[in-house]
Amino acid sequence: MIFSEGMLRDGALENKTIIVTGGGTGLGKSMAAYFLRLGANVVICSRKFAVLEETAAELAQITGGKILPVACDVRNTEQIENVIAKSVEVFGRVDGLVNNSAGNFISPTERLSYKAVDTVVDIVLRGTYYFTLALGKYWIDNNIKGTVLNIVTTYATTGSGWVVPSAMAKAGVLTMTKSLAFEWARHGIRLNAIAPGPFPTKGAWDRLFPEELAKKFSFENRIPLARTGEHQELANLAAYLVSDFSAYMTGQVVTLDGGEVLAAGQFNFLKEVTDDQWDAIEDQIKSATRGGKSPE
């Protein structure tokens, strides 16, 4: 399967230092691994330092790249500034940021406490704008043309019930992406986003697709391309968007979801119609067009 292979050429991210928030697990870990393989220095940060250390050791061994784990709750500006300071101390500068950290779980909204909503919104929205603001100031002060990649979701655009705090927060991140892309273009800073469909990770599956639900609503039936995403597919797109190959692209969100978001198309229910039924329907339509009676 070619889509589970790396896409960019060797050394495509050489001389770049990229911070990946939430880089110790799931999609963040997969992106960090690919950036290392392409020659970048990578900084991974999140709350659980033991997890970060284990991932850093594993990825350094597999890729031979340079990776720095730093503990950081993205809701805390001092800890964010510490990540940037440590990255500069170790690697000399920072060129890219992937805002990938998130908190999320399914729940009927009326069951949520105020604190539950705050928790998700603060990790996703506050965490993203704090980190982006801190690095943007550093880039502008140091005349660095930095790049931000925000990992959002398809429901940042469509909205979705049962994940309302996440949907509100991701929509805010998407609007920040477009707004700042225009404002900071004069500094050469670019911001783009990826809206992934379902990519299996323990973090998402434990909280969003518990076993009982996953069995009942199979992805194969719901997704036009009849499968979930491969991590390398997302890592390929992410590497392109943080690399200089995408130098002319800013303020964009790229959906990578096997067509899942297209389900709203008004006539997509016709998926269920068989070939025999189509023969009859075609005859009916043609005879109606030739002079049959149309509804008022």
Residue whose Cβ sits closest to ligand HXC:
103
- Shortest CB 184 distance to ligand NAP, Å: 22
Q: Let me know how long the chain is.
A: 296
Of these partners, ligand NAP, ligand HXC, none, which one is at the site of residue 115 (CB under 5 to 8 Å by kind)? ligand HXC
- Which parts of 116-145 interact with ligand NAP (CB under 6 A)? 123, 127
Backbone angles phi, psi at 151, to 5 degrees: -90, 110
Structure-token pair, residue 27? 């999609």
Of these partners, ligand HXC, ligand NAP, none, which one is at the site of residue 107 (CB under 5 to 8 Å by kind)? ligand HXC
Q: Residue 107 interacts with ligand NAP (CB under 6 A)?
A: no
- 3-state SS record for 138-199: HHHHHCCCCEEEEECCCHHHHCCCCCHHHHHHHHHHHHHHHHHHHHHHHHCCEEEEEEECCC
Rule CB under 6 A: choose which of 3, 11, 14, 48 binds ligand NAP: 48
Choosing from 34, 129, 138, 155, the catalytic residue is: 155
**Cα angle vertex 40, ends 183, 12, to 5°?**
85
Rule CB under 6 A: choose which of 6, 7, 39, 51 binds ligand NAP: 51
- Provide the CB-side half-sphere exposure for 278 (13 A, CA): 6
Are 115 and 62 in contact by the 8 Å Cβ rule? The answer is no
Of these partners, ligand NAP, ligand HXC, none, which one is at the site of residue 116 (CB under 5 to 8 Å by kind)? ligand HXC
Q: Could you tell me which of 222, 209, 120 has the C-alpha nearest to residue 173?
A: 120
Give yes or no: 155 in active site: yes
Kindly list the residues in this chain that would bind ligand HXC in the complex (CB under 6 A).
102-105, 107, 111-113, 115-116, 119-120, 153, 166, 198, 203-204, 207-208
Of these partners, ligand HXC, ligand NAP, none, which one is at the site of residue 21 (CB under 5 to 8 Å by kind)? ligand NAP
- Shortest CB 14 distance to ligand NAP, Å: 26
Q: Which residues pair with 253 in a beta bridge?
A: 193
Taking contact as CB under 6 A, which single stretch among the options 100-108, 130-138, 266-274, 286-294 is the one that binds ligand NAP? 100-108
Are 273 and 284 in contact by the 8 Å Cβ rule? The answer is no
Are 52 and 69 in contact by the 8 Å Cβ rule? The answer is yes
Q: Residue 74 interacts with ligand NAP (CB under 6 A)?
A: yes
- Shortest CB 105 distance to ligand HXC, Å: 4
C-beta of 148 vs 151, nearer to ligand NAP: 151
Residue 253 and residue 155: Cα distance in Å, rounded? Answer: 12
Q: Which residues are catalytic?
A: 155
